[in-house]
């Protein structure tokens, strides 16, 4: 079981492998899109791992990347269509970034490194946990960006109006992508210092 | 490693493509009604907001919209006649344009003199968060209320979106302030209104 928990901390796809950073910067201005993005990536990563693992012995190695892309892009389009039908406002906020899950290196990476050589159930769990590791970072970053940038959490105002009357202002920089990069960088720093201390 | 013949590879990928294509078509057809309903609701909410009804709940927006608005045409473009929240009749005109990164669009509600703006809403596909996307906020849209799209002589001038102090020959009632930090998006709004509100 321990090895499956790796993606949440010491093998985190964003913080340690530095994958999927682009979308992590783009969808974390608020919590809600970050959580929806997390769920989307978890679903795509887990199901793609499962499917590829199920057909792994029939895939000709010469075209395995094409087969992987086909499976991943099919899943992403399905997820995108479902989001548009069920949570239309969030799907508008995520705009192109749902489509760009196709190119998320975390997913292709897990297919190559894990699903092609493991049984379906472990592959499914591995995909789920890697999606969760990605999502964990998204949620942490989105929490700080929404709280400090908009004064809300999940669109509910959490900073009392007395603060604003006393001169407190939301930090507009938090909403812009550079601040997401700085926050992700800070998390990478914390992660690395933990690793060094453990040695 | 197992060897695969070319024949096998071609058959394999063809089969896979057919399977995924059928799957995607099924999903698309199955979900289409709900997606279109969502778009209709969003449109109804936007127009109702421009007509002074405030934020209408998703569940009742479509119903409310069909009870106050009737579809018409204006120069061959989509338009509606609407009963505004204050009881007067207004004309809703759909406007389409280009922002900095992608399409922008909106609905303009004109009072029954066909010249005064009663309300306006904008939407965008991908304007910069925190800068260009401010065109959707009340602070910007409320500055349009009461402005006129014609000058004193009745000639069409549109409502220009201009930087404060620039092009002073345009009267105060025909202009609003552009958004600082979003020059190109503001210019997009300006061009969109000029193109789409013109009678000709």
Residue B109 bridge partners (DSSP):
B92, B119
Q: What is the pLDDT of residues A24-81, one digit of tens each?
A: 888 898 899 899 999 999 999 999 999 999 999 999 999 999 999 999 999 999 999 9
| Residue B4 near chain A (CB below 8 Å) | yes
Please, which pLDDT band fits residue B1 given cuts at 50, 70 and 90?
low
Given this model, what pLDDT does residue A116 score? 93
Given this model, what pLDDT does residue A57 score? 92
A67, A74, A79: best to mutate for the B interface, most B CBs within 10 A: A74
**B41: which chain A residues are within 8 Å (Cβ-Cβ)?**
88
Q: Structural domain of residue A15, as residue ranges?
A: 2-198
Please, which pLDDT band fits residue A1 given cuts at 50, 70 and 90?
low
Closest CA to A4 of A119, A111, A132: A132
Burial category of B77 from C-beta neighbours within 10 Å (exposed 0-12, middle 13-18, buried 19 and up): exposed
Write the CB contacts of A175 (distance below 8 Å, at least 6 apart in sequence).
Answer: A29, A145, A149, A150, B129, B130
**A100: which chain B residues are within 8 Å (Cβ-Cβ)?**
none
Q: Is the pLDDT of residue A96 over 70?
A: yes
How many distinct helices (H) and strands (E) make up chain B? 4, 7
Mean pLDDT within B69-95: 87
Mean pLDDT within A114-124: 94
Q: Is the pLDDT of residue A142 over 90?
A: yes
Closest CB from A70, A85, A95 relative to B38: A85
**CB contact (8 A) between residue A176 and residue B1:** no
The number of CA neighbours under 13 Å toward the Cβ of A174 is 17
Closest CB from B8, B35, B41 relative to A84: B35
Q: What is the pLDDT of residues B141-187, one digit of tens each?
A: 999 999 999 988 888 888 999 988 888 888 888 999 999 888 999 99
Is A196 or A138 the better-scoring residue by pLDDT? A138
Q: Is the ipTM of this complex over 0.85?
A: no
Given this model, what pLDDT does residue B113 score? 87
> Looking at the 3D structure of chain A, how many domains does it have?
1
DSSP string, B105-148: EEEEEE-TTSSBEEEEEEEESSPPTTTGGGGGSHHHHGGGTT-B
From CA B101, how far away is CA B132, in angstroms rounded? 9
* Chain B residue with minimum CA distance to A71: B20
Mean pLDDT within A16-31: 87
Burial category of B4 from C-beta neighbours within 10 Å (exposed 0-12, middle 13-18, buried 19 and up): middle
Q: What is the distance of C-alpha B29 from the center of its chain?
A: 26
Is A59 or A100 the better-scoring residue by pLDDT? A59
Mean pLDDT within A130-155: 92
pLDDT-above-90 percentage for chain B: 48
Closest CB from B9, B24, B34 relative to A85: B34
Q: Are B79 and B70 in contact (CB under 8 A)?
A: no
Closest CA to B46 of B102, B99, B92, B115: B92
Helix (H) or strand (E) run with residue A91 in it? helix A88-94
Mean pLDDT within A115-144: 94
Closest CA to A39 of A49, B38, A47, B37: A47
- Averaged confidence pLDDT in chain A: 90
């Amino acid at each position: 079981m321990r090895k499956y928990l790796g993606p949440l901390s010491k093998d985190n796809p964003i913080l340690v492998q530095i994958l999927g950073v682009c979308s992590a910067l783009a969808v974390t201005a608020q919590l809600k899109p970050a959580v929806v993005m997390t769920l989307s990536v978890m679903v795509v990563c887990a199901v793609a791992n499962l499917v590829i693992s199920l057909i792994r012995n029939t895939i000709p190695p010469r075209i395995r990347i094409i087969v992987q892309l086909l499976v991943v892009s099919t899943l992403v389009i399905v997820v995108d269509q479902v989001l548009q039908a069920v949570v239309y406002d969030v799907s508008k906020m995520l705009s192109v970034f749902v489509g760009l899950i196709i190119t998320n290196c975390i997913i292709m990476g897990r297919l190559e490194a894990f699903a092609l050589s493991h049984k379906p159930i472990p592959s499914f769990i591995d995909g789920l946990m890697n999606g969760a590791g990605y999502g964990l970072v998204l949620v942490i970053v989105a929490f700080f960006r929404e709280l400090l940038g908009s004064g809300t959490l999940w669109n509910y105002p959490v900073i009392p109006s007395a603060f604003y009357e006393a001169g407190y202002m939301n930090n507009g920089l938090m909403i812009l992508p550079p601040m997401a990069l700085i926050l992700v960088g800070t998390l990478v720093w914390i992660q690395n210092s933990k690793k060094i201390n453990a040695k | 490693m197992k060897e695969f013949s070319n024949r096998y590879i071609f058959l394999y990928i063809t089969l896979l493509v057919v399977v995924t294509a059928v799957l995607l078509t099924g999903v698309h057809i199955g979900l289409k009604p709900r997606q279109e309903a969502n778009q209709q609701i969003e449109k109804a909410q936007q127009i109702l907001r421009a007509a002074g009804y405030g934020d209408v709940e998703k569940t009742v927006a479509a119903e409310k919209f069909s009870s106050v608005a009737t579809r018409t045409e204006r120069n061959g473009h989509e338009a509606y006649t609407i009963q505004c929240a204050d009881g007067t009749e207004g004309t809703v005109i759909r406007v389409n344009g280009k922002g900095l990164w992608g399409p922008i669009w909106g609905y303009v509600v004109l009072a029954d003199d066909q010249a005064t703006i009663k309300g306006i809403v904008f939407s965008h596909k991908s304007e910069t968060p925190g800068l260009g996307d401010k065109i959707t906020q009340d602070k910007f849209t409320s500055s349009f209320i009461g402005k006129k799209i014609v000058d004193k002589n009745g000639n069409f001038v549109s409502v220009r979106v201009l930087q404060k102090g620039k092009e002073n020959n345009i009267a105060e009632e025909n202009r609003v302030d552009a958004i600082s930090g979003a020059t190109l998006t503001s210019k997009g709004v300006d061009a969109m209104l000029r193109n789409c509100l013109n009678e000709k």
